[in-house]
Amino acid sequence: MEIEIGSGKGTFLVQQAPLRPQVNYLGIERSLAYYRYAANRMRRRRLSNVMILRADAAQFIRFWCADDVASVIHLYFSDPWPKKRHHKRRLIQDSSLRELHRVLQSRGELRLVTDHEELWRWYEGHAQRHAQWFDRRPFERPESAGAGEIVGTNFERKYRREARPFYAMTLQKK
């Protein structure tokens, strides 16, 4: 199973799932409007290896996910919460990294992409602090990414039109 946190309109999942029928994909999306939009796309395309769940991903992973269940966890263009007093709302925290590590299988991967430089430094700081849990690896584009794209999510396409820079890393569970 692969999990996408904050799947938005579900673009990554609807592009990637048909190319990897042997993998089960689970999207977790908190917004009701985005969840409904993505669920409808999946239903119309009759995708049988992808499900979407409306939940707070941090809570779902912490309280509902068993150990060693995911081979990959995708987190693309997560909300950056730029104000310092809101940093505690960011999905990557010391505590959530511990949970993501627990849920990943051995050698499983946490794949992170952002356009936000300060959030990127936050990710780098967390990766360094938890180097005992994860090896840092280069990010490999999924098969479903279009020409010149990193992943090909809605936010990536929007930000690409604005010529924003992108940052990407893979953290592999030791």
Ligand X SMILES: C[S@@+](CC[C@H](N)C(=O)[O-])C[C@H]1O[C@@H](n2cnc3c(N)ncnc32)[C@H](O)[C@@H]1O
Q: Could you list the active site residues?
A: 79
Cβ-based nearer residue to ligand X, 2 or 156:
156
Q: Is 29 in the site for ligand X (CB under 6 A)?
A: yes
Total residues contacting ligand X (rule CB under 6 A)? Answer: 21
Distance CA 112, CA 7 (A): 13
Q: What are phi and psi of 127, to 5 degrees?
A: -65, -40
Q: Which residues does 68 contact at the CB level (< 8 Å), separation at least 6?
A: 102, 103, 104, 105, 106, 108
Q: Is 34 in the site for ligand X (CB under 6 A)?
A: yes
Q: Which residues does 158 contact at the CB level (< 8 Å), separation at least 6?
A: none
Stretch that binds ligand X, among 65-73, 74-82, 93-101, 131-139 (CB under 6 A): 74-82
Q: Is 25 in the site for ligand X (CB under 6 A)?
A: no
Minimum distance of ligand X from residue 18's CB (angstroms): 18
> Hey, which residues does 118 pair with through a beta bridge?
none
Sites of contact with ligand X (CB under 6 A)? 5-8, 28-31, 34, 56-58, 76-79, 91, 153-156
